Structure 1
Amino acid sequence: MTTYTTHTQESTAVGGALTILGNENYQLQLAKSVTNSSGSVTYNMVYQSQLLAPDMEIQWTANYGLNWAANSPNPGATVNYAGNWQPCAAGESYDLNNVGAWVPNQSNPNAKPNCLNVGNNDYGESVYISVRVQDASGNWSPIWVSPDKLVQQSGGEYEPLEAITLWYQEGSQTSTMVSTQ
């Protein structure tokens, strides 16, 4: 599995960016992007939030999983999930059955090779699909929640991209929803 690393350095000079940001209790925030079925690329969740240091590094592997929730959290809220996480490699497809469990569906005619594919939502209501990633230590963290519900009896394709956005912000934490970046 491929491992990705982002490396950020800030000056430790008196009155420099690190001092100013640190005095305001800012942290480095990183969000990863996902393309949904309509082709929209969004960053809407903090994947990692780190205290400031002169030399900061964040790593993750291209190892992904799917989950679902009946309700989408608002920006600033920590995501609470309703389903169980399902590891899912690019090109694999899973259906959501009537009790909310993931069932393999490798015969999904709409599956795309670079996507995490949901063949059919057979659950009792429309759901929000979420994606997680495994970091270099083997821990799993959510990175994205679909802004649109996957309606019953439909499917979707979700492509995690290795594009990121970095910013400094006060108070955000890992797995916190943010306004789309």
Structure 2
Amino acid sequence: MAEQSRTLKVVNQGPDLTTLAKNRFSLQVAKSVIKDGELHFNVVWKSQVLAPVMQVKWKPTYGLNWTSEVPSPGLMITLGGFWKQCDPGQVLDIDETGQWMQSTATPVKDYLSVGSNNYSIPEVNGIHIVVGVQSAPGNFDIIYVDETELGKGMTAQYQPQEQIQWWYQTGMRSSTMIEQASTKKETGDYSAPDSRTGTYSKTSSYSYTTGTWKTSSP
């Protein structure tokens, strides 16, 4: 059975929407990944132009890529390779040309694994692995960049999580490193369906007066 879609619907109206618009805020969304037992949010996955109703949808299908450097907060990530779908429990290697290939390394249950990095760049200690969530067949949006370099012959494991964060901030920031948010961040856990509806859906609204989010399922 195919995995169900997850949906975040953000709704704002009246004075709250007017004030958000005056501040030229856009909706920013981040998605999490576990590495070495720690949960990380470090990339703006989605930016959406402010509107009364905004929706973000995804299915839990993931891929790997890499970059030669991690940019400063607020700057866009530049990819160095091609995306390759990687399912939980699958292992991929990076060959001498920087391309993905199947690995003979032992898989790690529930993790996307790099069995061995065989690619190197002169005067750089290693590359940085990038994790993405599928936006269309063969295409992925960046959700995480490993800030630790992966040197030649090294391995790494990543476990995408169905937890997301959202907030308001100026500008369109997709595929940039997260910097300080302009409003409080809200967190939603989509790892299990709603007990009443059986769907993975949440609706959220922001009060500019109180500076708080109100989120419900669905």
TM-score exceeds 0.5: yes
The 2-side partners of 1:149 and 1:115 are apart by 19
Percent of residue pairs bearing the same amino acid type: 34
Deviations 1:8-56 (A, max 9, x none): 111x22xx221111111100100000111x1221111111111122222
Partners of 1:76 and 1:172 within 8 A in 2: no
Aligned residue number for residue 122 of structure 1: 118
Does residue 175 of structure 1 match 2:175?
yes
TM-score of the aligned structures, taking structure 1 as reference length: 0.89
Deviations 1:39-93 (A, max 9, x none): 2211111111111222221001111110011111221111111111111111111
Does residue 46 of structure 1 match 2:48?
no
Aligned residue number for residue 108 of structure 1: 105
Deviation at 1:171, TM superposition (A): 1.5
Between the two proteins, the alignment pairs up a number of residues equal to 174
- Unmatched tracts of structure 2, length 5 or more: 186-218
Aligned residue number for residue 26 of structure 1: 25
Aligned residue number for residue 90 of structure 1: 88
Partners of 2:48 and 2:172 within 8 A in 1: no
Q: Which runs of 4+ in 1 moved over 6 A?
A: none
Q: Does 76-85 or 161-170 show the bigger shift?
A: 76-85
Matching residue's letter, 1:9? V
Please point out which of 52, 58, 61 is paired with 2:59: 61
The 2-side partners of 1:140 and 1:156 are apart by 20
Aligned residue number for residue 10 of structure 2: 8
TM-score of the aligned structures, taking structure 2 as reference length: 0.75
Deviation at 1:100, TM superposition (A): 0.9
The 1-side partners of 2:85 and 2:149 are apart by 20
Does residue 153 of structure 1 match 2:149?
no
